[in-house]
Copies of this chain bind each other. A is one copy, B any other.
Amino acid sequence: MKKLATGICLTMLLNVALGQEVTRPDTTRRTARMPNFRNQVVSPEIHPDKTVTFRLFAPEASSVEISGEWMPGFGARESLAKNDTGLWTITLGPLQPEFYGYSFFINGAKALDPSNAVIKRDGNRNDNVLFIKGDKSDLYAIKDVPHGVLSAVWYPSSVLGFQRRMNIYTPPGYEDSKEKYPVLYLLHGAGGDEEAWVELGRACQILDNLISQKKARPMIVVMTNGNPTQAAAPGYEPEINEQRIQAFGPGNMISGKFEESLVKDVVPYIEKHYRVISNRSARAVAGLSMGGFHTLNIITANPGMFDYAGVMSMGFINTKQFGGEDNRNAFEKQVDLLKASGIKLLWIGCGKEDFLYQSVTELRKIFDQHQLKYVYRESQGGHTWFNWRLYFSELAPLLFR
């Protein structure tokens, strides 16, 4: 016991002596940071049977709930139970292997789990990460395989008139080779930004794993910011652009400016600065939801530029519905041009419960009428990252073949 106490004391001393910032001590911090501290709160604790125990130390709270992405239905929460030391606990599951978000609610107000440092951001919302290992999440895990490099790069946009930030994945081996690589432009949905496919889509992990299993060709993946009024994700926006953020609104999504910028700014930047194969057979574009809308706009406006395209959870949307012009006829004409251009793979994925399911049916009808071939993947579930990670896992192996 004395030895244990000495060990704890040494750890605490060293944590302070060798560099943790000295700030106000508080319980959440002490419990979260001191690895050997006896009162350490462990949360989440994943048990071998994939049940999970969540814990929060909150002696003065009168209610603590948890909401997790595995819970069915809207607004679902479960209540934790309090013991006599003020520790709230609940054990849930077993849970299916997945990459989940969750958060607590203390007296009804959202609070992240202070014992879990790993967070994912979806738009303006942060949640804690719960990663349940297993077959279905195997591709999303960081495994002991060769890893690609993820770079945050700023590029000048002549179309939008300001510098913008994008994330670029270069595959394992890129730095050591002289080879040229194909490029996938991977687009996020509304509310997202250039971090979405990295943080929520696990794009780097999925590709690292698929490439190491020789199931996908080594490729560069370019993850842009699809909001034409934004330069970058929250926290990275230059001061000068704050007025643009204020001006962000629905009109910008259907302005066509992002799509134009991708073609005129991003593709040339990538083809100049990276070792890439600069022709249609080595260019792919794919996106989810708003990014699927962007993808459709990009491939129909630029037939012959991309041989591969993926449209996830998005169908034909007549912009008339949103105060724009009736674009049905124009779209159909572009579909004919796309067909004439001989696109190699047009991949569509949608969940049976997706609220945009009907728009996907409409899109397929147009493609069928115009005899434009496509691969259709219908999954369970709806408009969720569960599906988008799955679709990306299935689409990536089909590219550049």
Residues of A at the B interface (CB closer than 8 Å) are 7, 10-11, 13-26, 28-29, 32-33, 35-36, 56-63, 67, 69, 71, 73-76, 105-112, 114-115, 117-119, 121-126, 129, 133, 141-144, 146-147, 149-154, 162-163, 165, 175-176, 188-192, 232, 234-240, 248-250, 253, 273, 288-293, 313-314, 317, 322-323, 355-356, 382-385
Contacts and interface: CB of A to CB of B under 8 A. Distances in A.
Contacts of A248: 35
B60 A60 contact: no
Given A14-B190, A58-B109, A147-B165, 7 more contacts: A19-B292, A28-B125, A60-B63, A118-B235, A141-B239, A143-B240, A150-B151
Contact of A106 (B75, B111, B191, B240): B111
6 tightest A-B contacts by CB?
Answer: A19-B189, A19-B289, A111-B111, A58-B109, A18-B290, A19-B190
Contacts of A16: 355
A289 B57 CA distance: 30
Contact of A33 (B119, B125, B133, B382): B125
Given A20-B190, A118-B235, A151-B150, A61 B107 contact: yes
Count identical subunits in the complex: 2
Contacts of A313: 19
Contacts of A28: 109-110, 125
Nearest to A354: B22
B15 A190 contact: yes
Contact of A124 (B76, B117, B151, B238): B117
A175 B264 CA distance: 19
B109 A73 contact: no
A33 B142 contact: no
A191 B19 contact: yes
A13 B26 CA distance: 42
B62 A107 contact: yes
Pick from A32, A152, A323 the residue with the most CB of B within 10 Å.
A152
Nearest to A16: B355
A73 B176 CA distance: 51
A28 B16 CA distance: 35
Nearest to A356: B17
A32 to B, nearest CB: 5
A35 B123 CA distance: 11
